[in-house]
Amino acid sequence: MENYVDITFDCLPLRSVGRLEIPMDASPVYRQRCERVKAAIEKHGSHNTYFLYNAKCVYHLTNDPELGRLEFSFEGILLTGDDDAKSVSADLEIELAGETCDWLTEPIVRWFEETVQRSVLAEFDRYIAAGDLEKARQRIEKSQAQSDEAGGFVGMYL
For residue 51, count CB atoms less than 10 angstroms from its CB and return exposed for 0-12, middle for 13-18, buried for 19 or more. Answer: buried
What is the DSSP secondary structure assignment for residue 86, as one 8-state letter?
Answer: S
Give the whole-number percent of the chain exceeding pLDDT 90: 58
| 135 confidence band (pLDDT: 50, 70, 90) | low
Q: Which residues lie closer than 8 Å to 32 by C-beta, 6 or more apart?
A: none
Contact criterion met (CB below 8 Å) for 50 and 77: yes
Instruction: Look up the pTM and report it.
Output: 0.79
| 72 confidence band (pLDDT: 50, 70, 90) | very high
The CA distances from residue 13 to 28, 34, 37, 133, 140, in Å, are: 22, 14, 10, 8, 9
Residue 23, pLDDT score: 77
Residue 115, pLDDT score: 97
